[in-house]
Amino acid sequence: MMIISPSLLACDFLNIESELNAFEGFEDLWFHLDIMDAHFVPNLTFGHPIVKLISKKTKIPLDAHFMVSNPEFFIETFKDFNIHNFTFHIEATENSFELIKKAKKYYPSVGVSIKPKTPLEDISSEVLANIDLLLIMSVEPGFGGQAFIEESYERIEYFNKLKTQYPNLTIQVDGGVSNINADKLRKAGADNLVAGSYIFKEGPTTYREKVESLRR
């Protein structure tokens, strides 16, 4: 089953509790948390106090995407917030393998993310063999609501072929995802789709219908 991760960056922050409650009971769903430090990316979102409150309010697994220059600091300081998946960027570190090992001590699932222009080979076989999730960015990280980059399909296909060697690897895609590209993304090899604007900001349909439309 395709896991869907609504990105809370696009939710109504003044009513975050009711936004969280609206998804209670949904299956194969994670909440995607975009944590930005105004350094790795030119935007600042939310940090420890908000993530702590969210973790107390929901039983839905939390999928935290750290767009930060110093992921090591965040591995330590977010460890008590019941985060299911911890993803950091390959571009933010020179010792990704050490960081993966460290993150595994605290988080059930560890992911690495790659920006749209980073060479695919920068994700080494050592990294692929040790992560649970590979996040392929389909927009430049930093902001919600951007247009999907079409070249992303080839990047997903490249890693999908490698899944024979890494059968437990989850391929996640993030940025500009909607019902228009979801089916093509699944066919290219995506196992998990992140969607912010499409779920929270478009049209009159319910969240349930939005989520289901990404699986069709």
Residues at the site binding Zn ion, with contacts judged by CB under 5 A = 34, 65, 174
Do the Cβ atoms of 166 and 129 come closer than 8 Å? Answer: yes
Q: Give the nearer residue to ligand DX5 in terms of CB position, either 9 or 182.
A: 9
Q: Could you say which of 110, 144, 192, 214 contacts ligand DX5 (CB under 6 A)?
A: 144
Q: Could you say which of 91, 197, 212, 215 contacts ligand DX5 (CB under 6 A)?
A: 197
Tell me which of ligand DX5, Zn ion, none is bound by residue 144, counting a contact when its beta carbon lies within the kind-specific cut-off of 5 to 8 angstroms: ligand DX5
177 binds ligand DX5, rule: CB under 6 A: yes
CB 118, min distance to ligand DX5, A: 14
63 binds ligand DX5, rule: CB under 6 A: no
Instruction: Classify residue 125 by burial, with Cβ atoms within 10 Å: 0-12, 13-18, 19+.
Output: exposed
Cα 33 to the center of its chain, rounded Å:
7
Return the closest-CA partner of residue 90 out of 57, 125, 127. Answer: 127
Distance, first Cα to last Cα, the chain:
11
Tell me which of ligand DX5, Zn ion, none is bound by residue 82, counting a contact when its beta carbon lies within the kind-specific cut-off of 5 to 8 angstroms: none
**Binding letters toward ligand DX5, positions 103-132, x by CB under 6 A:** ------------------------------
- For the question of residue 28 being annotated catalytic, the response is no
Q: Give the nearer residue to ligand DX5 in terms of CB position, either 58 or 138.
A: 138
- Residue 84 tokens read as 């299911």
Do the Cβ atoms of 61 and 85 come closer than 8 Å? Answer: yes
Output b/e per residue, 1-30; b: 16+ Cβ within 10 A: eebbbbbbbbbeeeebeebbebbeeeeebb
Summarize as ranges the residues that interact with ligand DX5 (CB under 6 A): 7, 9-10, 32, 34, 65, 139, 141-146, 174-177, 194-198
